[in-house]
Each structure stands twice: as structure tokens, then as C-alpha cells.
Amino acid sequence: EVQLVESGGDLVQPGGSLRLSCAGSGFTFSDFWMTWIRLAPGKGLEWVANIKQDGSDKYYVDSVKGRFTISRDNAKNSMYLQMNSLRAEDTAVYYCARDPPGGNSYYFDLWGRGTLVTVSS
């Protein structure tokens, strides 16, 4: 089955760190751009960061630059999001999503079910 599964979400204090993981299966993970997207309570979807197939290009939304780092390990069919200096406004469900086949940082045809990150004291 083609799927993405996120893990690593938790309750963390402001200023703390967390590492999210996204595991892909049922497809050739290394062929696709991958993206993290979040949904905060009462808000809309927010594109967070993405990474090229070989990890050579990475992009971030301004609000997480310098605090979050996206990476991937194609040998493990996995993508990661290292989140440091967490703030209350980072509280959200974090989704990983995949570009369509042949995509070049386009739209998202496959989504995981999400993992909840709560930043609170």
C-alpha cells in the first residue's frame, strides 16, 4: 500500500526541541520531493518546508527559518523535521506530503495522517 506515516509528535515546553519523522512505503521514496505542512488549531493549512529528491535543495517558510531543519534518508525511505526553539504558535498537527510523480515542488497527491505537536508549559 502506498502510504506516509508520521511519528514523533508530543507535548513539549516552550524553547524545547522535537524531531518528527515521516516514513514512506509502497513507492520509490527517493523519486519525490517531500514536504511538511501543518494545521494549527482554528487555523488553515500552512506550508512549512520541503526537500528535493536528493536532499540538495531545502526551503522553509519564514516563521521557522533558523529553528527548523528538514532532512531525509532515502535508504530508510524517511524524511525528518528537527524543530528547535519551539513556540506556542508551533502547536499544530504536522503532515508530511508527497509531490506527484515527476513533480518539481508542486501540489501534493499523497498525505500522511499527521502527528500532533503541542508546545505548552
Partner 1 sequence: DIVMTQSPDSLAVSLGERATINCKSSQSVLGGSYNLNYLAWYQQKPGHPPKLLIYWASTRASGVPDRFSGSGSGTDFTLTISSLQAEDVAVYYCQQYYGRPPKTFGQGTKVEI
User: What residues make contact with partner 1 under the rule CB under 8 A?
Assistant: 35, 39, 44-47, 50, 59-62, 95, 100, 105-109, 111-114
Q: Which is nearer to partner 1, 3 or 16 (CB)?
A: 3
Of residues 86 and 114, the one with the C-beta less far from partner 1:
114
Contact at 8 Å (CB) between 50 and 106? no
Q: Which is nearer to partner 1, 16 or 45 (CB)?
A: 45
Least distance (Å) between residue 59 CB and partner 1: 4
Closest approach, Cβ 13 to partner 1, in A, equals: 27
CB of 20 to partner 1, least distance (A): 15
Q: Are 79 and 34 in contact (CB under 8 A)?
A: yes
- Residue 88: CB minimum distance to partner 1, A: 20
User: What type of residue is 35?
Assistant: T
